[in-house]
Structure formats: structure tokens, C-alpha cells
Structure 1
Amino acid sequence: MTVFGLHNSHEQVHPSELLAAVQKAEAAGFGAAMCSDHFSPWSARQGQSAFAWSWLGAALQATSLPFGIVNAPGQRYHPAIIAQAIGTLAAMYPGRFWAALGTGEASNEHITGDGWPRKDVRAARLRECVDVIRALLAGEEVSHDGLVTVDRARLWTRPDEPVRLVGAAVSVETAGWAGAWADGLITVNQPVEHLRRMIDAYRAAGGRGDLCLQVHLSWAPTDEEALAVAHEQWRSNVFAPPVCWDLETAGHFDVVSEHVTPEQVAGTVHVGADLGRHAEILHGYAELGFDQIYLHHVGQRQDEFIDAFGAKVLPQLR
């Protein structure tokens, strides 16, 4: 049975408000949660970007939900530090934490001052990081010399159970590549046929574990308000790779999105006041085979969305 969870967007909402939101979501019937891991928002209009790992400790303590995070080890984060962060949370909250690993975006990673590598180099670097993180979580002492360097690292606090390391992908090619190493796959809402090809590529490459989907949506009491919220908050997020990977600052995203129309935003965000229609869309994703679906209301006000979906949408999906 598909689990429906809440996506917590640190780029958009203050961490204290997000903590209250995820507690409210658990009470409303959401069965899981995940969060973003950004240093920078996608737009000055979004206006936040708290440190996700600090927040996760509070959120795991404040709820009984399982949690995940999408992380990009290799540049902003050394993989040994990410292994330690994963190991600590998983040791404190057994069976409740997973991490999805991806190649990242320049908007977060450029802060180190290092050059932003080509996509193929980033993929190779991520693969090294995955092996380092797995070995550390398994209790090995790790030294590694490659695109990342590790010198005699060992985790002294580790979970008793293995932690799922999920592959983050938006393309069919990357989904197939992740099938060789990942314990699951996570992606974002895209055309149904594209998602089907991603699933097939992942499974054909030996990919195991749950299929997870983050769904961008905008709900409000009227269609007009839902569209206005989506356009105000999410118009900087309509650009396909490599643009979304390679722009470096919120200011860059705001400049290139100046002429994005509400209709263009509605091509990437499910927009509308009709809760029945939202339920139909989410049910369709579940029928594709997604085991976990995380709802991301792209507005900054979360309470009304959680109340409405908890009362009217989640019961239909059960």
C-alpha cells in the first residue's frame, strides 16, 4: 500500500514553522516525511534555507514518522561527515531514517569556491561517496584517494540496522545508473510515460527497494489563488537540466524566471482547488508503482493545505 508523506521545503518555510507543520501532518494522517537539503533558496521570494540536519533531529524527536532527506555528498559535504550524520540519526531513531543521494546543484555547492564539475564527473564523484558512506556505516575504517579523499575514517556511533541509501534521479539514464547501487529510487513528478521509463530503467539495472516520488502541487480554495501561489513561489523552478543544475544564486534564478507565466508553472506543478482532482492525480502515481509519495505544497502557508488534504484527500487514497 502506498504511503503518502509530507515534503518539507527548507527553502520556503522557517524551520520552526516546518516543525509545527510536520507535527500537524502526522496528526492529520500523513504517514511519512522528507525534507530538502539546501544552502540557498531557488528565489529571493522563497527566502529561507535552514540547515536540514539540525532540523531532522528535532523532527524525528517531535514525531513518530519515518523521515528521509535528499543530499549531495562530495563538494559541500565530505562523505565521511554525511555518513556520521546518517549513522547518528539512524542510531537514535532505528528504522525511521533514510537518505537519498544525488549529484547536487551549483546553487548549493558553489559556496566552497571549488569549480562546478561536469555532470559525468559529478556522477563518478557521487559513486565514490556512496561506497565510502556504505563502508563507514558498515563499521569499516576507510581510506580513499580519488575524486574525494578519505584518510583512516571510522564511525564510532553506528545504527544496528542498515540504512537505506536511495538514488535521486530525474532522467531515465540516471535512474538506470542508480539501479546498480541504490536501495530505492526517488524522483519528482514528470509526465507519466517518462516516469514509467525511469521505473523500467531502474528495475532493469537491478534496482531494488521502494520507488519514491515527490509531487509538487498548489492547493487553495480557488483555482485562481492556487495558481497565483504557485507562480509567486515556484516560477524559478520550471527549468529543466542543465539550467537548474548550473545556475549559482537565487538572483540568477530570479532573473531567468522574470518572464515565466503562470501557465508555464502549471506545467510542472499540479494546481487547483479541486481536492478530488488532486486525489485522482495522486492515485494515478500510486498505480504506476510508487511505494512512497511525498506531497509538496509549493506555498509557504502549510496549515490550510494539511487540513484540507488530511480531511478530504488522504481518506480517498486509503
Structure 2
Amino acid sequence: MATIGFHCAHEQIAPSQLLADVVHAEASGFGAALCADRLSPWTTRQGQSGHAWSWLGAALARTSLSFGVLSSPGQRYHPAVLAQAIGTLAEMFPGRFWASFGSGQAINEHVTGSGWPRRELRERRLVECVDAIRLLLAGEEVSHDGLVSIDRARVWSRPEASPPLLGTALTEETAHWHGRWADGLVTTGQPPEVLRRIIDGYRQGGGRGWLALLVHLSWAPTEDEAIDLAMDHWPMGAFGPSVVLEIETVDGFDELARHVTEEQVRAAVRVSADLEQHVDWIRADLELGFDEIYLHFVGPDQGRFIDAFSSDVLPAFAEEPHEETVHENE
């Protein structure tokens, strides 16, 4: 059965409300959850950015869902610190937690004051970090001198089996590169031809793991309200990867957002008042080969979205009784 998950948008919703929202989402039929580890929102209007790792402990304890987190080791997080966080959650909630890694975004990472490396250095640093995290989660003592430095690190509290470590990709090139090491791939909603190339890139790079898609969407009872929500709360969806990865401040994104058009937002956010249209979009995603679809409603009222999709979207993908999603790293 397809897994339709709820995306927990820390940059939009206060942590306490987001915890209530994900509990509501599970009770309403969503089968898994995903969040991104961010230090900053994208725009001033969003106005939140809870600490994902702190919040995940509460969310895993309050639900029975499987949770994934998108994070970036190497600058804001030393790999040993991140490995300890992963080990603790995976030990407490076996089979219910996984992490996906990317090379980072300047808006979250520039705060260390150490400069934002060029892309090839960020990717090399990511591989060094992933290799170290795998060894640490296996119980080994790790020392390393490279783009990151590690001195005799060890993670003492760990799960019996290490959780899956996935790669996060926005382009075919990055997906191909992740295929060398990642237990699966996470990407975001783009035109079908682009998603096909991303999937092919991961497989051709050697990737054999599961595929997850994060979809940005706007729904409301009327089309006008749906597009207004998308324009107000997710204009950055119109920005390409080079912009998203390189701009360092909320002010920079705010300035760019002033010039975004409705056409650009509709190209990046699935905007429709028709719930059957959202069903059709999800079906098309599954036909591309994605195993898990995570729905990110870009508006502030998550409860209204959860209730509407629980009634008129999720049942289309529930031919079988819901079973808890379990991810094991073989």
C-alpha cells in the first residue's frame, strides 16, 4: 500500500502547535511523517523555526508514526554530534526513524561564521560525514582528518540496527552522486520529466533504496484562496536550486519573493481547490515509482488541510488496512 505522509513544516508552525498537528494527522489516516532540520525560516512572514531534533523526541513519543528528518552534517552539526542524536532516537524508537542528508543551505549554515564552501567541497564534506556517522552508529571509534576533523569519537547509546541514511537531492546530478552511498532518496515536487531524471540518476548511480517525494501544495475551498495562500506563504517555491542553496538571510528571500509571479508559484506548488485533482497528482507520483509521498500544505491552518484530505484524498490510497511504516536498514 502506498504511504502518504504528513510534512511537519517547522518554518511555518510553532513547535507546540506542530506537535498537535502531527497527532491530528496520524488520527486522520496519514501513515508517516517528515520534517526538515532548519535554523531559519525562508521568509519573515513564516516566522518560526523550531529545533527539529528536540521536537522529534516528543513527536515520536506522542505518535506511532515513522519519522524522517532532512539534515545537513558538516558545518552547523559535527558528524559525531549528529550521530549521537540519530543513535538516541533510533534506540528509543526502533524501526521508526530515518535521516536524509544533503550538503546544506547557506541560510541555515552561514551562522557558524566559517564561510559557505563551494559546491564540490560541500559534497566531499558530506561524504566524509556520512562515512563517519555510519561507523559511529556501528559502535566504532572514529578519528578523521579532512574537511571535517574527528578525534576518537564514539556513540555509546545506539540501536541494535542502524537506521537508514538517505540522500536528499534536487537535481539529477546530485541524485546520481547519492546513489553511491544512500539507502534511499528524498526529492521534492517538480515536473514529471524532471522527477524521472532524478530517479534514473539515483538508480544509475547505484542507488537501490526506496524513493520518497515531498510535495508542496495549497488547497482551500476556493481557487482564489488556494493561490493566495501559496503566494503569501510559499513564494520561495519558485526559486531554483542555485538560489535556494546560496542565499544567506531571510531578508534576501523576502526581497526575491516580492518579484514572484502567480505563474511561477503554480509551477512549484500544486494549487487547486479540487481535492480530486490532488488525488490525481498523487497517483501520478506513485506511477513514477515513488514509495512514499509526503504532503506539505503551505498554509498556516494545518487542521483544515488534514480534515479535508482525510475525508477526500487519503481514502483513495487506502485499499488495505493501515499498518505502521517500519524502515529497516539491511
Same structural fold, with TM-score higher than 0.5 when normalized by the shorter chain = yes
- 1:108 to 2:108 alignment: yes
CA distance in 1, matches of 2:104, 2:233: 21
Equivalent position of 1:76 in the other structure: 76
Whole-Å separation in 1 of the counterparts to 2:259 and 2:243: 16
Instruction: Map residues 154-173 of structure 1 onto 2, 5 A cutoff.
Output: 154-173=154-173
Q: Distance in 2 between matches of 1:267 and 1:197?
A: 18
1:27 — aligned with what? 27
In 1, the alpha carbon distance for the partners of 2:279 and 2:141 equals 48
Which residue matches 2:145?
Answer: 145
Stretches of structure 2 lacking an aligned partner (at least 5 in a row) = 319-330
RMSD: 0.7
Cα drift, residue 262 of structure 1: 2.2
1:80-108 deviation line (CA, Å, top 9, x unaligned): 11100000000000000000000110000
Counterpart-to-counterpart distance in 1, 2:75 and 2:148:
9
What stretches of structure 1 of length at least 5 have no aligned partner? none
Which residue does 2:327 correspond to in 1?
A: none
Q: Which residue of 2 aligns with 1:217?
A: 217
Q: Secondary structure at the match of 2:131?
A: helix
Structure 1 counterpart of 2:305: 305
What is the 5 A alignment of 1:129-208?
129-208=129-208
Equivalent-residue separation in structure 2 for 1:236 and 1:181 (angstroms): 30
After the TM superposition, list the runs of 4 or more consecutive aligned residues in structure 1 that deviate by more than 2 angstroms: none
CA contact (8 A) 2:279 2:313 kept: yes
State the 1:317 CA deviation: 2.2
Cα distance in 1 for residues equivalent to 2:119 and 2:13: 30
SS at match of 2:241: coil
Q: Is the 8 A contact 1:42 1:237 kept in 2?
A: no
Structure-2-length-normalised TM-score: 0.95
Q: What secondary structure sits across from 2:50 in the alignment? A: coil
Which secondary structure state, in structure 2, belongs to the residue aligned with residue 10 of structure 1? coil
In the alignment, is the contact (CA less than 8 A) between 1:177 and 1:202 conserved in 2? Answer: yes
Distance 2:259 2:317 in 1: 37
Q: 1:70 aligns to what SS in structure 2?
A: strand
Aligned-partner SS, 1:107: helix
- Contact 2:237–2:269 (CA<8 Å) still a contact in 1? no
TM-score by length of 1: 0.99
Task: Provide the C-alpha distance between the structure 1 equivalents of 2:236 and 2:96, rounded to a whole number of angstroms.
Answer: 32
Counterpart amino acid of residue 30 in structure 1:
F
Q: Any residues of structure 2 matched to 1:45-84 within 5 Å, and which?
A: 45-84=45-84
In 2, the alpha carbon distance for the partners of 1:18 and 1:122 equals 31
Number of corresponding residues: 318
Q: Deviations over 1:121-175 (max 9, x none)?
A: 1000000000000000000000000000000000110001121000000110110
Residues 98 and 163, structure 2, Cα contact 8 Å, conserved in 1: yes
- Distance in 2, Cα, partners of 1:31 & 1:126: 30
Answer yes or no: is the 8 Å Cα contact 1:166–1:185 preserved in 2. yes
SS in 1 for 2:313: helix
